Each structure stands twice: as structure tokens, then as C-alpha cells.
Amino acid sequence: MCAAGAGNGSDREVGLSAEVRRALLEMTQAGGLRSVAALTCEAVAGIGAVSLVLTAGEIAATPLCLSRSGELAGHAVALQLALGEGPDFTAHQMRRPLLVEDLSGSAVHADWTVFPGEALAHGIRASFAFPLLVHGQPVAVLTCYRSRPGPLSPDALLAAQVQVSAAGVLLLHDARLPGPFLDGLAVGDEVLPASVAVLHQAIGFLRAPGLCTVEEALATLRAYAFAHQRPLDEVADDVVNRRLTLHVKGASS
């Protein structure tokens, strides 16, 4: 699903359906990207929670939540950030929608070893993730959650696709986004959000001796945060401020 194409802002809006134009207008009038999740909850029948996370470029390993609505979305975003697995990561990698009708069923994605059980424990029974593609590259993921299993109706699926397309156009227009995350798509020049910046600092601390990879350092932080039921950014802050010393498993000596 291609949310936006090449060209300037007006060019990107040429060819949008009336439904997408209407959704885009509603999002713009309601406050921009922050409104996407709440408006999607209203537009997609049977959905109880929605998140929109930025996954472009270097931030793919630590998605940044741009908008969320509903308690289930908050749990899902936090779980995925701590575990490094779940619908946002997989939809980003697959570059196509990932519709999981029942997280307790056998059709759950094979790479998810922990997320399904943790999600069920928080009342999440189904997830429907839609990547936002720009020039064929995934830059964000919009995911709908609900507390009961079952597929989206055809009308609900169409409504979700409309919201994704509108959010994709809005994403490229929003000047408040941190530019480095979008790999030169030039949507802003703000600094990293504090929670993401401290995570990257902590990864740098763990890698300082040059004995491990970024992935190994991030896995160490995630494992500690999950084992101790703590937010990942708090663990990272403790590492940066030397209140916590972590040793990367498998690092060269």
C-alpha cells in the first residue's frame, strides 16, 4: 500500500480518492499526526485502540510512537519496544499489511516468541498492522488492536486503508518530525525525542569498548527492561548516568 509518492506536497495529493481527502482534512483540522490514532478508532468499526509509530531509517529498531489511542495501544507499543518483536516490526519488514485475527491461534507469526503471550495478558486479542510506504520504503506503521478475536469486516478493512493513506500524506507534510529518521525526506530538523535519544546514548555506552554490535547492545537493554518490568528509556537513562552497569552477552573480550 503506497501512502504517498514522489513530488511536492500538491503533487502527492493528486489522484487521492474523495475518502482519503476527507480523512486527510479531518486529521489536519484535528491537530495533525497526533490525531491519527483517535480518528482511526472512530473510522474503523470494531477497533478499540490504535497506534502510529515511526519506523524509518535508523529508528526502525526503536520505533517512535507518533500517535496512540486506547489503553491496549499503550500496552502494545511498550511491549514491542521492550521485546523487539510484534506487529509493528513485522509489518515494517514485510512491507505489507499483517492481519492477525487471533493472537492465541496457530496463525500467529512464527517469529513472535514472547509478544503473543504478553499481549494476551494485557487483553489484546487481535492486531491489524498497516505499513506506510513512501517510494516503496516503509516509514511508519499504523496498527489497530482490539480485545476480541476475529477478522476485520470488509468495510472496516477499507476504512483502515483510507486512514493509512491519509496518514502517509500527512506524515510527509508534518514539519515537526525529526528529519534524520526519514532518510532525507526533509520533513523537519528537530532533535531526537528524549526517550529515543537516551536509548541511543545507552547503546553507545555499551558499545564504547568496540566489543559488540548495535543489535547486541539493544538486545541487552531490552532483556534487562523486560526481565525487571521497567520502561526501556528508564533503563537506558540509568546506564547513561552510571546507575546501572550491564554486560553484553557474547561480547568479545
Domain boundary among 133, 153, 182: 182
Do 104 and 221 lie in one domain? The reply is no
**6 domain-assigned:** yes
pLDDT tens by residue, 167-188 = 998 887 764 454 444 433 333 3
Q: Which runs of E-coded beta strand occur in the chain?
A: 2-4, 49-54, 64-69, 98-100, 126-134, 137-146
Do 116 and 232 lie in one domain? The reply is no
**88 domain-assigned:** yes
Q: What CATH number should be reported for the domain holding residue 14?
A: 3.30.450.40
**249 domain-assigned:** no
- Between CA 117 and CA 208 the distance in angstroms is 35
**36 domain-assigned:** yes
Which range has the top average pLDDT, 43-47, 167-171, 174-178, 189-193?
43-47
**253 domain-assigned:** no
pLDDT of residue 172: 79
Residue 195 pLDDT grade (very low, low, confident, very high; cuts 50, 70, 90): low
6: left (phi over 0), alpha (psi -120 to 50) or beta: beta
- Residue 60 CB contacts under 8 Å (≥ 6 apart), including other chains: 92
Task: Give the number of domains in the chain.
Answer: 2
Do 203 and 118 lie in one domain? The reply is no
Residue 234 to residues 52, 68, 225, 239, Cα–Cα distance (Å): 22, 20, 8, 9
Do 101 and 53 lie in one domain? The reply is yes
pLDDT tens by residue, 94-133 = 999 999 999 998 778 888 999 999 999 999 999 999 999 8
**57 domain-assigned:** yes
Whether the pLDDT of residue 31 is over 90: the answer is no
Would the pTM of this model clear 0.85, i.e. be above it?
A: no
Do 107 and 217 lie in one domain? The reply is no
Instruction: List, in sequence order, every residue forming a beta bridge with 138; answer none if it has no partner.
Output: 133
Contact 90, 157 (CB under 8 A): no
**203 domain-assigned:** yes
**17 domain-assigned:** yes
Domain boundary among 132, 147, 182: 182
Do 213 and 102 lie in one domain? The reply is no
Q: How many CB atoms lie within 10 A of CB 190?
A: 13
Written as one letter, the residue type at 163 is Q
Q: What is the mean pLDDT of residues 19-26?
A: 94
Residue 81 pLDDT grade (very low, low, confident, very high; cuts 50, 70, 90): confident
Which range has the top average pLDDT, 46-55, 156-165, 217-226?
156-165
pLDDT of residue 196: 60
Q: How many residues does this entry show for the chain?
A: 253
Sign of CA dihedral 146, 104, 77, 98: negative
pLDDT of residue 180: 42
- Domain coverage including residue 137: 2-182
